[in-house]
Amino acid sequence: MNLRKQIIVTVAATVLGSGLAFGGAANAAAPASAPLSGQGAAASCNFYPTGTTLTKTGQTGDAAVKRIKQVQCLINQNTSYPILLDVDGKFGQKTYDAVIKVQQKAKISDDGEVGVNTWGKLRAGVWWQTSLDAR
């Protein structure tokens, strides 16, 4: 996790941990195991924690949805991709574009499909300095 995300997570944990002082239990944070929906990536990605099954556009079914959610969550949590993805299990254009950008930055085949190499890079993390660097 990069320093910026570590700071954000630490501040969020501090603020959320003192939720009772700011309105009581009704405003307490959702548990870390709650599904993500584009609201940040402080929670753990556990939709498809291991494995390297090919994941790409057009796939359907429960297993594919879990893998796609994992891809989206890992892009949010383990990369510096500048657009926060909705973790909705739909491999749409935004997810495809993000996968391409991560593959390019990781210097692996940029085919938009999440195979063995891309899974490895997503789990390890892919960082770059300029958020919209097209190279």
pLDDT in tens, 18-74: 443 333 333 333 333 333 344 444 458 999 999 999 999 999 999 999 999 999 999
Q: 62 with 98, same domain?
A: yes
Q: Which domain holds residue 52?
A: 33-124
Q: 84 with 109, same domain?
A: yes
Q: 58 with 102, same domain?
A: yes
Q: 68 with 117, same domain?
A: yes
Q: Classify residue 134: in a domain, yes or no.
A: no
Please tell me the distance from the alpha carbon of residue 39 to that of residue 87, in angstroms, as a whole number: 9
User: Range with the lowest mean pLDDT among 9-13, 27-31, 85-89, 131-135?
Assistant: 27-31
Q: Classify residue 129: in a domain, yes or no.
A: no
The pTM score is: 0.66
Q: What is the DSSP letter of 22?
A: G
pLDDT at 114 over 70: yes
